[in-house]
Amino acid sequence: MIPARTLLLLVVLMQALGFPRSPAVSDGPAPFVVGVLRRDGIVSPFAAFDGKDWTAPWPSELRYLELPISIESVPSKWWGKAGAISQMTAWVGGVNRGTLHLTGPAMVRLMCAGRLGLSSDYRSPQPAPPPGVQPYPKEGLAVSGDQRVEPIEVASPDSPAWAPAGARLLEPFDRAEQAAISGFTDWKHPIRREERRKVPVELEAMYRAPMDQPGWVAYYVEAIKRYPPGPDDGDCGLITSAGGWITVGPDGKGSTKLTHAQRGGSRSAVLGGRLPVLNP
């Protein structure tokens, strides 16, 4: 199953990142809220669209907040421009599964931290595991208003687009990696840049979605570079991982944007985020 967060990225961030759009949708849809729909029916809001721009008004840090005890007591600013809502549409695998009604706040565990979600009357056709299971199974997305969510095609290594995507990432990956390394003050990559450039980019995942502009296709990709372990690394070397977008037009030309990154391996240089990170 495609992670619900990846689904949102593929469905909506193409416009937010400035990729080609058709004039018919240039003004954007009405404001709405998007959340991850868990198998136990809990909705975890994480993005809001105001008709033009995306924000993340739902709090992720709870330590200094007075938590609401009912739907009515949720601060209006947490909903974004869409305003307070009491029902959403469940989208599972790109299919509208009907309306779900929000019934109240609910605390959930996200790895080692707590997050405030919203319980609902959604019932999955599959049995829900215990609350402590990590990562907890996701059904899809919960979306307010009448915004549609399209299904996403998962590309395999056998796809004709797989190898060209890896080739397109070579230069952008190198530039992003170097920019991330330059952000550190007390650490330098143990492998020189000219040697890092020779290391191939390995695609780990790729998702495909048509864009609004006729003939344009967007690919969301996750990729890594693996480096041999040094004297102090044991069996695991440094891994640089990045996620981002490749857009391709009808003429085969397009653009590549590394937009966020994730950790991996015993130590990992993180690309594309605002703050470079290295795990010791």
Give 171-199 pLDDT, tens digit per residue: 999 988 888 888 776 778 888 899 999 99
pTM for the full predicted model: 0.60
- Its domain, for residue 49, covers 4-143
Q: Which of 113, 143, 173 is the last residue of a domain?
A: 143
> Does residue 131 sit within a domain?
yes
d(CA 143, CA 147): 7
Pair (53, 168) in one structural domain: no
- The number of distinct structural domains making up the chain is 2
Q: Is 241 exposed, middle or buried (0-12, 13-18, 19+ CB in 10 A)?
A: buried
Give 195-217 pLDDT, tens digit per residue: 999 999 999 889 998 888 899 99
Pair (10, 139) in one structural domain: yes
Q: Which of 124, 143, 162 is the last residue of a domain?
A: 143
> Does residue 106 sit within a domain?
yes
Pair (108, 180) in one structural domain: no
Pair (214, 129) in one structural domain: no
**Is residue 8 scored above 60 in pLDDT?**
no
Pair (78, 135) in one structural domain: yes
113 in Cβ contact with 63 (< 8 Å): no
**Is residue 276 scored above 70 in pLDDT?**
no
The more confidently predicted of residues 1 and 75 is 75
Pair (182, 226) in one structural domain: yes
Mean pLDDT of 220-227: 90
Q: Which of 143, 162, 186 is the last residue of a domain?
A: 143
- Averaged pLDDT score across all residues of the chain: 80
* Lookup: tokens for 179: 């920019």
Pair (14, 98) in one structural domain: yes
pLDDT bracket for residue 111 (50, 70, 90): low
> Does residue 24 sit within a domain?
yes
> Does residue 278 sit within a domain?
no
Pair (136, 220) in one structural domain: no
Pair (121, 51) in one structural domain: yes
Which of left, alpha, beta for 252 (phi over 0: left; psi -120 to 50: alpha)? left
Pair (195, 246) in one structural domain: yes
